[in-house]
């Protein structure tokens, strides 16, 4: 892992493969580790230079005050375009998962020349908060259970890992995998409260959103080949959100993972890899 400087900040990145066909992976609500190692490795084996990275305020990227982030969703989108530019060669295939999928939609709309393809995993076409009337909202029973848990001791590795595992179980993801990933995240940034969750997912960045018209209304402008991947069992962003994105982006392909929730499970890595490589 290393860092690159773009837009006057540092982004923590990790690269797989050395091909000239770049594929940039935008993090979800944790860090770059929201993208499974196995998926990165198989994409690289398929002839892609895979670069996964931490959004601002997470992992090894530049951290600011999570209570007063001096940037917007469009800033995060510009970071993705700037990172793609530093890789050189052809325009990059951009992929985003969860919150990263929201950033990826705006990035392709605002910087179309930087990207050759788009993959969106487990996301939706509107910012956090109440969705549009035609989009399914979070499962309220799941959300109540998720946010009723006491916060862990962020200075204690095992406490943080157990907290992630119980959250994964509530969401329908693999708790053992979540425990392992959370421990790795803690090892990279020990004792740090995840500011990406507070600053981005809790809406402090999105409340400063200056995307007008809203990016959902602009989805028909996307011209690059697009893959929408969504877990059938996703209770955070129910599958209707992915179906709506696939309808509104011209010629987008929808891949529904029947046994998946919010994360990409090991059993689906091969299917997702093949679909992404076919896209470009």
Beta strands in the chain (DSSP E): 2-6, 9-16, 22-26, 49-53, 92-97, 115-121, 226-231, 253-257
Digitized pLDDT (tens) for each residue of the chain, 280 residues in all: 799 999 998 999 999 998 788 999 998 777 899 999 999 999 999 999 999 999 888 888 888 776 677 788 889 999 999 999 998 878 999 999 998 999 999 999 999 999 999 999 999 999 877 788 899 999 999 999 999 999 898 889 999 999 999 999 999 999 999 999 999 988 988 767 664 455 554 455 666 566 666 899 999 999 999 999 999 999 999 999 999 999 999 999 999 999 999 999 999 999 999 999 999 7
Give me the number of domains the chain comprises: 1
> What does the pLDDT read at residue 66?
65
Report if residue 154 sits inside a domain.
no
Beta pairing partners, 253: 227
242, part of any domain: yes
Structure tokens at 129: 């908060």
In a domain, 152, yes or no: no
Q: What CA–CA distance (Å, rounded) separates 230 from 215?
A: 19
Tell me how far apart the alpha carbons of residues 131 and 63 are, in angstroms, rounded to a whole number: 29
Q: How far apart are CA 48 and CA 60, in angstroms?
A: 23
pLDDT of residue 1: 79
Look at residue 68 and tell me if it is in a domain. yes
pLDDT of residue 201: 44
What integer pLDDT is reported at residue 122 of this predicted model?
97
* CATH code of 205's domain: 3.40.50.1820
Contact 200, 63 (CB under 8 A): no
pLDDT at 88: 83
Residue 24, in any domain of the structure: yes
CA angle 251, 256, 262 (to 5 degrees): 120
Q: Is the peptide bond before 193 cis (omega within 30 degrees of 0)?
A: no
pLDDT of res. 60: 87
Task: Answer whether residue 88 is part of any domain.
Answer: yes
pLDDT tens string 83-131: 999 988 789 999 999 989 999 999 999 999 999 999 999 999 998 777 8
Q: Is residue 144 part of a domain?
A: no
What does the pLDDT read at residue 90? 81
Residue 184 inside a domain? The answer is no
Q: What is the pLDDT of residue 206?
A: 67
Identify the domain containing residue 261 by its residue range: 2-138+193-279
Residue 19 phi, psi (nearest 5)? -70, 165
Residues 6+ apart with CB under 8 A from 88: none
């Amino acid at each position: 892992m290393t860092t690159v400087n773009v837009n006057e900040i540092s982004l923590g990145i990790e690269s797989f493969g050395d091909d000239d066909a770049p594929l940039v992976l935008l993090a979800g609500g944790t860090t770059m580790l929201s993208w499974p190692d196995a998926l990165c490795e198989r994409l690289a084996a398929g002839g892609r230079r895979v670069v996964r990275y931490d959004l601002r305020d997470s992992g090894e990227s530049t951290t600011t005050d999570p209570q007063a982030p001096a940037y917007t969703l469009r800033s995060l989108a510009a970071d993705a375009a700037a990172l793609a530019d530093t890789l050189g060669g052809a325009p990059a295939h951009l992929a985003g998962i969860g919150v990263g999928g929201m950033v990826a939609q705006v990035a392709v709309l605002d910087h179309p020349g930087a990207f050759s393809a788009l993959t969106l995993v487990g996301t939706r076409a509107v910012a956090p908060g109440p969705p549009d009337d035609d989009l399914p909202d979070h499962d309220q029973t799941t959300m109540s259970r998720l946010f009723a848990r006491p916060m862990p001791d962020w200075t204690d590795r095992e406490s943080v890992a157990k907290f992630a595992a119980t959250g994964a179980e509530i969401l329908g993801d693999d708790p053992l995998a979540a425990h392992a990933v959370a421990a790795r995240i803690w090892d990279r940034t020990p004792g740090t409260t995840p500011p990406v969750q507070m600053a981005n997912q809790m809406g402090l960045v999105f409340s400063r959103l200056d995307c007008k018209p809203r990016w959902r209304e602009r989805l028909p402008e996307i011209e690059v080949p697009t893959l929408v991947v969504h877990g059938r069992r996703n209770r955070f962003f129910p599958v209707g959100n992915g179906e709506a994105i696939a309808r509104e982006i011209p010629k987008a392909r929808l891949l529904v993972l029947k046994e998946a929730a919010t994360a990409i499970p090991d059993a689906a890595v091969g299917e997702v890899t093949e679909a992404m490589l076919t896209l470009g």
